[in-house]
Structure 1
Amino acid sequence: MSTGVSTSTDKIIVDRSRSHRNKPVSKAVRQTRERLQSGHASNSAFDRDVLKMYIASMMQGATIMPLFIVIITALGVYFTQDTQLLLWALLTLTCHAGNILLARRARRQEITSESARKWRRLLLLGQFLVGCCWAVFALQGCDTCEPSSFILYKGATLLIALSVTAMSNFMLTPAVLVAFAPAVLALGAKSGLSRDLLEISLTGVFTTTLLFFNYISDRLFKSNLRILSYQSEKDDLIAELEVAKSMSDEARRRAEEANLAKSRFLASMSHELRTPLNAILGFSEVMSAEVMGPLANPTYKEYAGDIHRSGQHLLDLINEILDLSRIEAGKYELSEEAISLLDITEDCIGMVQLRARAKNIAISDQFERQLPAIWADEKSMRQVVLNLLSNAVKFTPQGGEIHVKVGWTAGGGQYISIRDNGPGIPEEEIPVVLSAFGQGSIAIKSAEQGTGLGLPIVQAILAKHDGQFLLKSKLREGTEVIAILPAKRVLQSLPAVEEAQPVARRRKSFA
């Protein structure tokens, strides 16, 4: 009773632990899936990760924009002879350096979900300041230059700056619009005041390009956000799998401990149970046979017979349980030797013949008499054949028939087939019958109920011999069971050892 309570308690502990540990993981997985199914992942869900990716990208490309500013300033001063570009370059480099210092400071600090929004606003402000510098560049003019050449220079510079900014800042939306909206306003104001066709064309081209790059940046941002979502879901699923694995390992460990405790219990109780049972069987048999003298009351003799039969049934049950436990624990050792399947079958038929005659059951046999010996455990194979024959006799009605066949298989092995014309087994109950302690509806209604361990023991013994067990049955037509031993168990199929003869010859030649 205490064992059952302990087992139930263990199950409750495992279930509660699993529920407690899986709850946060399941919640995270559910939230991630909802983000993915919504079609547009929320920026706030991954603000911290996105900001870290942007800062890393910004630090990697920190030298690209200063180098570009230096190059265009040098070209501008060379062609226009205007030193005002040097002041613009100094202002722009200062703003860019401020952005880099801000990003470096953000990288050194621990960014939380709350502080991510603050840092995002500061970085956008830095981009806006750089954008104001590009607006100053857009307002530049050159009185000594050809207008078309300077506009071409200015337009090429702004387009390259826009493309570089878009590629390096797409993880910070809307950095592209914030950085170059002042330049668009400056170009628009200048072209509106001058009404120059080239200025108007530059404004239109630059505005269109800005919108296009903003669209591309937004698509890239969403793609990266989706990748982050997939990564988050993968991490959550991995965490869930780890929790499930840990719970599975814990359940398996508990099952192994319970199985070990069961094996130890059965091993320790086998002697304590068998010793008094043998005494009960012996004394009840003495009383039933009236060895010490006649019993005054014939009812006592019947009681003694009942005690002996009940004790024998209990002993058989204990032996079957112990056999199945040893097989499940992997401690069922085979004592293999050369045996004859025909002889074992004939002996077992003789053992059940008395019970068969009591029910007026005819047992017919069809043997192939030239079968060679097989390499197997005689006690185990006798147990297999006796269990199958006992089941056939048990479930065959009065006046029925049992057919026993022993012969070759198509693959060169040997088999024994036992077929009866009993009530049969419904097809859906066959897996139940083949499981430990499983009994079909026919067996439950039968007057001779068993323990439900015979067929599982037969399957396990045949599996230890690398054999196979088949059960074919149809309701109201009968049942056929087939035990098959592989060809490698047949001694005739094994090749002879030819090493002894050459050794003998060698010794003879040396002599």
Structure 2
Amino acid sequence: MSTGVSTSTDKIIVDKSRGHRNKAVSKAVRQTRERLQSGHASSSAFDRDVLQMYVTAVLQGAAIMPLFVIIVAALGTYFAEDASLLFWALLTLTCHTANILLARHARTKEITAEAARRWRNLLLAGQFLIGCCWAVFALQDCAACEPSSFTLYKGATLLIALSVTTMSNFMLTPAVLVGFAPAVVALAARSGLSRDILELSLAGVFTVTVVFFNYISDRLFQFSLKILSFQSEKDDLIAELEVAKSMSDEARRRAEEANLAKSRFLASMSHELRTPLNAILGFSEVMSAEVMGPLANPTYKEYAGDIHRSGQHLLDLINEILDLSRIEAGKYELSEEAVSLLDITEDCIGMVQLRARAKNITIHDQVERQLPAIWADEKSMRQVVLNLLSNAVKFTPQGGEINVKVGWTAGGGQYISIRDNGPGIPEDEIPVVLSAFGQGSIAIKSAEQGTGLGLPIVQAILAKHDGQFILKSRLREGTEVIAILPAKRVLQSIPAVEQARPVAKKRRSFA
């Protein structure tokens, strides 16, 4: 039979052509995790980023050093009355301009990982040229000035230049050491030749300062590398989260499609299986009851009864599977009304009484007769009580007892408790029994086979009613199951509100 579902839609549901996406996603996740598990990257991994940051810093502060050089040359020329510092300033500005042009050229080029080392050497060479200019400045002399004053002037100028260079060039290590090594050599040579205490002091102080500032520059560089490493890790984590989200969305889509296919299959099977089953049940019941006349062979009557019982059992299994499918799909709707838990329990006891008598089982009931009604789905609650009673009868041995209690809970709700003296359930098998299609070892060996959906359906129905299900069992002592409904489901009896009678207004008379 046709179910009215297009084959094209079903083809989409089971389509596996998207498998290549999962392969690409898995590869991206694997690469990202390898990067994250490798720890902090070395400085070589960020050569390109470091050079870009250095070039940006040089271009942004391009006007600072020329302005400083012009001020130094103007002051020196004014006090020394010598034009030699102007030639030094022209040389220094030329080298600085060449360094700026080199940086601008580096910014316009795409620096690859292979070319990073070559660009780094070129930029260090530019710093070395500027350092040579500062060495020329360190060798300057002033015949018209007091020696101590001019030495102090040169020392202050070199220290300021060292500070500015350190702050702007720390991303190009060791730019500070390369840039001021010529000045250190020049001061050391000058002080060695003159043997002047001021020159020696200047050379010593400046050398120590260069070493210290180089250390500061290296620390700033390492700190910047850590920031870049953390930024890279953050980007990798974001990428992995995006990939994981993509995989989750894909898995959810496939799960939804699989669930849709399952729902369509169950809907189709419920129609396809119930139609012949109803015919089997009907005709087998007619044959076993000999409605059309007695059967010639008594064995045929027995076979007809077996067919009817097997068909009814199969129909019950189908109904349980469909109930659980609707519950899982969130399409199990409650038709709530005021019902009596006591009346439902008594009806269900009557329905299982015949099977209990066949096994010589005694059912004792202990109920509170004045229980108010509850707001629940009668069909669902009847299914809950009937499933629990049927399980108790099924697992209680010949001549056993079943105790049924209905009453109040401590919180103002209502409960039904069913206790049998059957074989019980091992403690480690209780989670298995409460799961869908789960059956304990004793149930498999000693009882008629079922789907293992009875207790999961009971739990789901009680959860829909905001209730609670409790199972207590000990091996060879029996099992007790308790279904609890909350206090908000109990309908308390409230007296009707009497309508107020109209009171005639009295006229007041005034004398």
TM-based fold match above 0.5: yes
Query: Contact 1:138–1:186 (CA<8 Å) still a contact in 2?
Result: yes
Q: CA deviation at 1:239?
A: 1.3
Query: Contact 2:469–2:482 (CA<8 Å) still a contact in 1?
Result: yes
Residue in 1 that maps onto 2:27: 23
Query: Contact 1:425–1:440 (CA<8 Å) still a contact in 2?
Result: yes
Query: Contact 1:22–1:240 (CA<8 Å) still a contact in 2?
Result: no
Residue in 2 that maps onto 1:98: 98
- Contiguous gaps of at least 5 residues in structure 1: 507-511
User: Tell me, what secondary structure is at the counterpart of 1:376?
Assistant: strand
Q: CA deviation at 1:9?
A: 8.2
Q: CA deviation at 1:501?
A: 6.2
Question: For residue 22 of structure 1, what is the amino acid of its counterpart?
Answer: S
Residue in 2 that maps onto 1:108: 108
Q: In structure 2, do the counterparts of structure 1 residues 472 and 171 end up closer, same or farther at CA, with 3 Å as the change threshold?
A: same
User: Tell me, what secondary structure is at the counterpart of 2:332?
Assistant: coil
Q: CA deviation at 1:17?
A: 4.4
Cα deviation code 1:147-200 (max 9, x no counterpart):
111111111111111111111111111111110111111111111111111111
Question: For residue 478 of structure 1, what is the amino acid of its counterpart?
Answer: G
Residue in 2 that maps onto 1:216: 216
Q: Report the number of matched residues.
A: 496
User: Tell me, what secondary structure is at the counterpart of 1:46?
Assistant: helix
Question: For residue 474 of structure 1, what is the amino acid of its counterpart?
Answer: R
- State how far apart, in whole Å, the 2-side matches of 1:7 and 1:344 are: 46
Aligned 1:340-351 pairs, distance under 5 A = 340-351=340-351
Cα deviation code 1:378-411 (max 9, x no counterpart):
0010000000111111112222222111111122
Cα deviation code 1:6-43 (max 9, x no counterpart):
999878965x744542334433442454242xxxx422
- State how far apart, in whole Å, the 2-side matches of 1:25 and 1:74 are: 62
Residue in 1 that maps onto 2:311: 311
- State how far apart, in whole Å, the 2-side matches of 1:497 and 1:163 are: 92
Residue in 1 that maps onto 2:320: 320
Q: In structure 2, do the counterparts of structure 1 residues 271 and 217 end up closer, same or farther at CA, with 3 Å as the change threshold?
A: same
Residue in 2 that maps onto 1:273: 273
User: Tell me, what secondary structure is at the counterpart of 1:481?
Assistant: strand
User: Tell me, what secondary structure is at the counterpart of 1:422?
Assistant: coil
Query: Contact 1:419–1:478 (CA<8 Å) still a contact in 2?
Result: yes
- State how far apart, in whole Å, the 2-side matches of 1:160 and 1:468 are: 79
Judge which range, 259-268 or 305-314, deviates more: 259-268
Task: Note if 1:461 corresponds to 2:475.
Answer: no
Question: For residue 460 of structure 2, what is the amino acid of its counterpart?
Answer: A
- State how far apart, in whole Å, the 2-side matches of 1:501 and 1:256 are: 56
Cα deviation code 1:89-116 (max 9, x no counterpart):
1211121122122212221222221222
- State how far apart, in whole Å, the 1-side matches of 2:477 and 2:99 are: 90
Aligned 1:173-322 pairs, distance under 5 A = 173-322=173-322
Aligned 1:342-491 pairs, distance under 5 A = 342-491=342-491
Q: CA deviation at 1:357?
A: 1.7
Judge which range, 22-31 or 316-325, deviates more: 22-31
Query: Contact 2:13–2:257 (CA<8 Å) still a contact in 1?
Result: no
Question: For residue 471 of structure 1, what is the amino acid of its counterpart?
Answer: L
Query: Contact 2:416–2:484 (CA<8 Å) still a contact in 1?
Result: yes
Identity %: 81
User: Tell me, what secondary structure is at the counterpart of 1:491?
Assistant: coil
Residue in 2 that maps onto 1:74: 74
- State how far apart, in whole Å, the 1-side matches of 2:235 and 2:433 are: 45
Query: Contact 2:28–2:243 (CA<8 Å) still a contact in 1?
Result: no
Aligned 1:133-212 pairs, distance under 5 A = 133-212=133-212
Judge which range, 133-142 or 422-431, deviates more: 422-431
- State how far apart, in whole Å, the 2-side matches of 1:327 and 1:438 are: 17
Judge which range, 291-300 or 280-289, deviates more: 291-300
Task: Note if 1:128 corresponds to 2:132.
Answer: no
Over the residues paired in the alignment, what is the CA RMSD in angstroms?
Answer: 2.5
Query: Contact 1:29–1:233 (CA<8 Å) still a contact in 2?
Result: no
User: Tell me, what secondary structure is at the counterpart of 2:191?
Assistant: helix
- State how far apart, in whole Å, the 1-side matches of 2:399 and 2:490 are: 36
Cα deviation code 1:432-486 (max 9, x no counterpart):
2111111122222223122111111111111111111122222222222111111
Question: For residue 321 of structure 1, what is the amino acid of its counterpart?
Answer: I
Query: What TM-score comes out, normalization by structure 2 length?
Result: 0.91
- State how far apart, in whole Å, the 1-side matches of 2:18 and 2:358 are: 54
Q: In structure 2, do the counterparts of structure 1 residues 423 and 241 end up closer, same or farther at CA, with 3 Å as the change threshold?
A: same
- State how far apart, in whole Å, the 2-side matches of 1:251 and 1:203 are: 71
Query: Contact 2:336–2:376 (CA<8 Å) still a contact in 1?
Result: yes
Q: CA deviation at 1:65?
A: 1.5
Residue in 1 that maps onto 2:509: none
- State how far apart, in whole Å, the 2-side matches of 1:115 and 1:221 are: 20
User: Tell me, what secondary structure is at the counterpart of 1:238?
Assistant: helix
Residue in 2 that maps onto 1:509: none
User: Tell me, what secondary structure is at the counterpart of 1:445?
Assistant: helix
Question: For residue 38 of structure 2, what is the amino acid of its counterpart?
Answer: E
Q: CA deviation at 1:265?
A: 2.1
Q: In structure 2, do the counterparts of structure 1 residues 9 and 218 end up closer, same or farther at CA, with 3 Å as the change threshold?
A: farther
Q: In structure 2, do the counterparts of structure 1 residues 311 and 294 end up closer, same or farther at CA, with 3 Å as the change threshold?
A: same
- State how far apart, in whole Å, the 2-side matches of 1:450 and 1:414 are: 29
Query: Contact 2:187–2:203 (CA<8 Å) still a contact in 1?
Result: yes
Judge which range, 68-77 or 389-398, deviates more: 68-77
Query: Contact 2:394–2:447 (CA<8 Å) still a contact in 1?
Result: no
Judge which range, 291-300 or 161-170, deviates more: 291-300
Residue in 1 that maps onto 2:506: none
- Contiguous gaps of at least 5 residues in structure 2: 1-6, 504-511
Runs of 4+ in 1 over 3 A off after TM superposition: 6-14, 16-20, 495-498
Judge which range, 358-367 or 145-154, deviates more: 358-367
Q: In structure 2, do the counterparts of structure 1 residues 7 and 416 end up closer, same or farther at CA, with 3 Å as the change threshold?
A: farther
Question: For residue 108 of structure 2, what is the amino acid of its counterpart?
Answer: R
Query: Contact 1:184–1:203 (CA<8 Å) still a contact in 2?
Result: yes
Cα deviation code 1:220-252 (max 9, x no counterpart):
111111221121122112212211211111111
Query: What TM-score comes out, normalization by structure 1 length?
Result: 0.91
